[in-house]
Amino acid sequence: MLSEGRKKSRVTLLDVARHASVSRATASLVIRKSPLVSTETRAKVEAAMEELGYVYNMGAARLRADRSLTIGVVIPNLVNPFFTELLAGIETVIDAAGMVVILVNSGDIATRQETLLTRMREHGVDGIILCPAAETGPLLVERMVEWDLPLVQVLRRVSDDCDYAGVDYAYGMRQAVNHLAELGHRDIAFAVHGPVHSAYQERIDGFCEAMQARGLDPDNIIRVPNQIAAIAAAADLFTSGSRRSSAVVCFNDVVALGLSAGFYDLGITIGHDFSLVGFDDVADAEAMRPRLTSVATFPVAIGEGAARLLLDRLAQPDLAPRKLVKAPQLHVRQSSAHWNKGDGGRVKNAG
Amino acid sequence: MLSEGRKKSRVTLLDVARHASVSRATASLVIRKSPLVSTETRAKVEAAMEELGYVYNMGAARLRADRSLTIGVVIPNLVNPFFTELLAGIETVIDAAGMVVILVNSGDIATRQETLLTRMREHGVDGIILCPAAETGPLLVERMVEWDLPLVQVLRRVSDDCDYAGVDYAYGMRQAVNHLAELGHRDIAFAVHGPVHSAYQERIDGFCEAMQARGLDPDNIIRVPNQIAAIAAAADLFTSGSRRSSAVVCFNDVVALGLSAGFYDLGITIGHDFSLVGFDDVADAEAMRPRLTSVATFPVAIGEGAARLLLDRLAQPDLAPRKLVKAPQLHVRQSSAHWNKGDGGRVKNAG
DNA sequence: CTGAAAGCGCTTACAG
DNA sequence: CTGAAAGCGCTTACAG
């Protein structure tokens, strides 16, 4: 009830100790739930804290103990639902560990990322989960080591000397390509977009290898724009011209959503006239009509995994670098259908 | 190049001062960019910082200066794209002010929100932007005042004694209803879902008033499920039974997306057989086919506004409570169409 | 413009 | 189990 003048004189641990007639050290032990304190004393101190309206001052504790119970999360993009789910997974685990997330957005710009990492360091975060911006070099990881700042890379990696939580993109691509090949497709395109980074490259490589393993031509890789409306407008790249394809694997579900709209505008029915496979399997895949066949990459689980890697490293700084590479999983829905090679024509949806 | 033993003996401001042959106070002034220091001295100190690899310790500064350059953001839900955009707006402004966001997710659970607010307070945040969880009482704001912790409510409000940044939901509803009424619709339903809070209530009230102002029956308010697949399965609530409607206003675009899928499954063509108006105008509205008519609520701008309100309050704590209520804006696309009253039948899309 | 000193609120050995 | 003391790294008056 001391709301008067709280600003001026905040209740301190010493006040609590005096009120409970114990020493400051004892009060500190109670707060940190040490077993060295008798139940009786503990109760007395807790009552005093309650009565005085004591608020623990993490700032002071962190200065002395050199830990902040704070971790930094650097994400290249806050609008893509994929990153949001990743973030949700991270937040859940960090929160459960009694820690707190400082979130920043690099906008996928390496120079900005520099600034932000410096700022995180000044704020004294205990560690960092980073999805490296495009163009990030491997020196970044070296610097973090020099800074003695525990780091886990997530989704993209720039160095092998550092923890990493991500997705087996090559395996995902293999599933997508095999699925379409088994439906009879031979002219399969790959629609990509966005900045170039390890996850981009792994998807490209995975697509090419999977196509070659099937004896198919892997060269039909087409870049589309970033904005959804522009992607839709680019749909005719796949259905007209010299490189007509009967199916397209998409870099992610954003591309799939855009192309799906574009095909609709062209009067082409997905899952009938043309097959489409997305990547990530965000919520929209199930909401689209026809429903989108997509390769699930489980962003929430990746986020949780990344957070656990970091927690482990904080506990054991000398652990060798670890990798958590999650296997994606194809969800077959309605947007992919049989292709009749016999006459090169279209057959009924078999999804 | 002092990477050896950095852990043990970190470079401190006193080291910098000595290295530059000035006092600690002077070094501190340089860091805080005070104009009281000569250019020459400043350069000397900056060179020393560079040479020694000095890292500013916010933790120590905050303890002494009683500010943390940190603000807490409490969001009920990280997966809804609407909140993500809101967050992006907040982050941009806070970042530009040289501050940093601590993000937590209340899951729309009031008790969890309590815990999180306490934790934020212990972490010493300078202020909080809160989208109150459902069931949050007005006492929460009183407590924050008692805690002397600056607060701005965003999107939902539980008290008028506190800054608020949000949307004029009633005006948005009026636009949606008027649009449909002008197209000839009379049996207009309102599809709602999710937890009950001020924004929910304002939308309900806004819908009812708008309908009454048009002389239409406002009682056709129907609750649908929260998950998108379940919303789709509930689409027949609007097209069968005693209360058939010809158009539906949706609580948000998630509902619109779900119902759109459900109508597709029922063989009903949006923008032709039935009209649909969404709310929020997230990116998906433009990506859907037919494109979704929706009331834009500009979440990024709201986030920016909320962050500015908080920054202003930090600068001037005694300001009277302020409200930033943004006017939403109807975007007419293809999902809403003329309705021919004459024979109660369907006419061609006029979107 | 600079120096010496006190203090923010906690934790950590170190004796008892 | 408890007390007295030092110190984490900064900022802030206060004299000069």
Q: Tell which strand C nucleotides have any atom below 7 Å from a protein Cβ.
A: 1-5, 7-14
Reference A166, options A135, A201, A140; nearest CA is A201
Quick one: pLDDT at residue A243? 81
Question: What is the reported pLDDT for A3?
Answer: 34
Residue A63 has a pLDDT of: 87
Instruction: Give the CATH class of B169-297+331-349.
Output: alpha beta
The token pair at A65 is: 């103990």
- Using the structure block, give the residue that is written with the tokens 């399969």: A188
Residues with Cβ within 8 Å of B192's Cβ and at least 6 positions away in sequence, in order, are: B200, B203, B204, B221, B222, B223, B224, B251, B255
B242 contacts chain A (CB < 8 A): no
Look at B91 and A84 and tell me if their CB atoms are within 8 Å. Answer: no
Tokens 């004189």 belong to: A9
Residue type, A129: I
pLDDT at A347: 44
Strand A329-331 and strand A293-296: the pairing is: antiparallel
Closest to A94 in 3D by CA, of A113, A73, A121: A73
- A204, A250 contact by CB (below 8 A): no
Q: What is the DSSP letter of B122?
A: H
**In this predicted structure, what is the pLDDT of residue A7?**
41
For domain B68-167+299-327, give the fold: Rossmann fold (3.40.50)
Q: What whole-number distance in Å separates Cα of residue B183 and Cα of residue B261?
A: 23
A85 touches chain B (CB under 8 A): yes
The pLDDT of residue B9 is above 90: no
pLDDT above 70: residue B351: no
User: Residue B325: pLDDT above 80?
Assistant: yes
User: For the residues B50-63, what does the mean pLDDT come to?
Assistant: 88
Question: Quick one: how many helices (H) and strands (E) in chain B?
Answer: 13, 14
**C-alpha–C-alpha distance, residues A272 and A277, integer Å:** 13
User: Which class is B4-56 in CATH?
Assistant: mainly alpha
Say whether the CB atom of A13 is under 7 angstroms from strand C: yes
In Å, how far from its chain's centre is CA B235? 28
Cβ of B160 under 8 Å from any chain A Cβ? no
Quick one: which residue's CA is nearest to C5's C1'? B25
Query: For residue A179, which amino acid is it?
Result: H
DSSP annotation of B287:
H
Contact residues, A window 120-139, toward B, CB-based 8 Å cutoff: 120-124
Task: Give every CB contact of residue B274 below 8 A, 6+ residues apart in sequence.
Answer: B238, B239, B246, B247, B248, B263, B268
- The pLDDT score that the predictor gives to residue A341 is 57
Residue of B nearest to A91 (CA): B104
Please name the residue of chain B whose CA is at the shortest distance from the CA of residue A99.
B119
Predicted confidence (pLDDT) at residue B345 exceeds the cutoff of 80: no
Q: Measuring from the CA of residue B29 to each C1', which nucleotide is nearest?
A: D11
User: How many angstroms separate the CA of residue A320 from the nearest CA in chain B?
Assistant: 19
Cβ contacts (< 8 Å) between B147 and chain A: which residues?
55
Picking from A46, A2, A39, the residue whose alpha carbon sits closest to that of residue A20 is: A46
Residue from A46, A57, A54 nearest A22 by CA: A46
> For residues A165 and A176, is the Cβ–Cβ distance under 8 A?
no
Work out the mean pLDDT of chain B and round it to a whole number: 91
Helix axes B110-122, B139-146, angle to 10 degrees: 10
B229 vs A287: CB contact, 8 Å cut-off? yes
Residues 177-216 of B with CB under 7 A from strand D: none
- The DSSP bridge pattern shows strands A247-250 and A188-192 to be parallel
Q: How confident is the model at residue B29 (pLDDT cuts 50, 70, 90)?
A: confident
User: Which CA distances in Å does B343 have to B108, B215, B276?
Assistant: 46, 20, 21
The answer to whether B283 contacts chain A (CB < 8 Å) is yes
Query: CB-based contact (8 Å) between B229 and chain A?
Result: yes
Strands A127-130 and A151-154: parallel
Tokens of B38: 């000569």
Q: Which residues pair with B296 in a beta bridge?
A: B280, B329
From CA A192, how far away is CA A147, in angstroms rounded? 36
The ranges assigned to domains in chain A are 4-56, 68-167+299-327, 169-297+331-349
* Residues B329-338: tens digit of each pLDDT: 999 999 999 9
What residue ranges of chain A have pLDDT lower than 70? Answer: 1-9, 341-351
pTM, two decimal places: 0.92
Tokens representing B348 are 């061609």
pLDDT tens, position by position, B99-115: 999 999 999 999 999 99
Q: What is the pLDDT of residue B14?
A: 87
| Secondary structure (DSSP) of B295-324 | EE--HHHHHHHHHHHHHHHHH-TTPPP-EE
Question: For chain A, percent helix, then strand, then coil, each to nearest 5?
Answer: 45, 15, 40
Q: Do the first three CATH levels of A4-56 and A68-167+299-327 match, i.e. the same topology?
A: no
The terminus-to-terminus CA distance of chain B in angstroms comes to: 67
The answer to whether strand C lies under 7 Å from the CB of residue A77 is no
Q: Does B318 touch chain A (CB under 8 A)?
A: no
The answer to whether A246 touches A187, Cβ cutoff 8 Å, is yes
User: What is the residue type of A327?
Assistant: A
Closest chain B residue to the Cα of A67, Cα to Cα: B59
Strands of the sheet containing B151-154, edge to edge, are A323-326, A163-167, A151-154, A127-130, A70-75, A100-105, B100-105, B70-75, B127-130, B151-154, B163-167, B323-326
Q: What are B325's strand-pairing partners?
A: B166
CA distances from A341 to A53, A179, A338, B286 (A): 77, 15, 9, 35
pLDDT of the residue at A2:
32
Burial A304-340 (b: 16+ CB within 10 A, else e): bbbbbbbbebeeeeeeeeeebebebebbebbbbbbbe
